[in-house]
């Protein structure tokens, strides 16, 4: 999974040098992942449609999982087992947090050779995608702030955190 992602990324980079990019910016496969609210949750872009994203999540403890579009349409790939979006989400979480931390958070007993996705045996559940998706949008708005030492305008709402 990771290897194919990596080689896809490498391919994309090497293509860019030769051919001008068609789209100005390609969304990362997993633009948002977090361990929050007792869940591993995040946003995974659709492999086929650039405009569509999936919100995938796994509950800690129960190991139940869910996946739907940001408009709350159920993911067609989710049939009793984690779909490719959940697989991508878990892979990204392992990259960002390390496997041990993700396993501990989800309360999954995972040995060094265990694939975390295979240990998600709680079955599927429906979860509200909207909450995660709005967190993602908020996360994006912070990412897109220009790199500047100027005080962040939004922070003026908090008197104690305004101009130093």
What does the binding site for Zn ion look like in residue numbers (CB under 5 A)? Answer: 54, 67, 75, 77, 83, 85
Minimum CB separation from Zn ion for residue 44, in Å?
A: 7
Rounded CA separation 129/30 (Å): 15
The sign of the dihedral angle between the CA atoms of 127, 41, 132, 24 is: negative
Q: Are 102 and 94 in contact (CB under 8 A)?
A: yes
Minimum CB separation from Zn ion for residue 84, in Å?
A: 6
Q: By C-beta, is 28 or 152 nearer to Zn ion? A: 28
Rounded CA separation 90/127 (Å): 17
Q: By C-beta, is 48 or 149 nearer to Zn ion? A: 48
Q: By C-beta, is 133 or 147 nearer to Zn ion? A: 133
Q: Are 110 and 119 in contact (CB under 8 A)?
A: yes
Q: By C-beta, is 56 or 102 nearer to Zn ion? A: 56
Minimum CB separation from Zn ion for residue 43, in Å?
A: 11
Minimum CB separation from Zn ion for residue 85, in Å?
A: 3
**Beta bridge pairs of residue 55:** 43, 68
Q: CA nearest 136: which of 81, 60, 57?
A: 57
């Amino acid at each position: 999974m990771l290897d194919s992602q990596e080689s896809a990324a490498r391919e994309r980079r090497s293509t860019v040098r030769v051919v001008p990019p068609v789209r100005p910016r390609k969304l990362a496969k997993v633009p948002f992942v977090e361990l929050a609210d007792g869940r591993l949750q995040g946003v995974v872009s659709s492999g086929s449609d650039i405009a569509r994203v999936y919100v995938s999540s796994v509950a800690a403890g129960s190991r139940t999982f869910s996946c739907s579009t940001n408009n709350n349409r159920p993911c067609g790939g989710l049939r009793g087992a984690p779909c490719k979006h959940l697989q991508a989400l878990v892979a990204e979480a392992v990259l960002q947090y390390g496997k041990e931390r993700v396993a501990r958070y989800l309360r999954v007993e995972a040995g060094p050779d265990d694939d975390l996705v295979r240990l998600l045996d709680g079955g599927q559940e429906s979860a509200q995608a909207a909450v995660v998706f709005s967190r993602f949008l908020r996360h994006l708005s912070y990412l897109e702030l220009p790199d500047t030492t100027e005080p962040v305008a939004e922070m003026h709402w908090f008197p104690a955190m305004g101009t130093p």
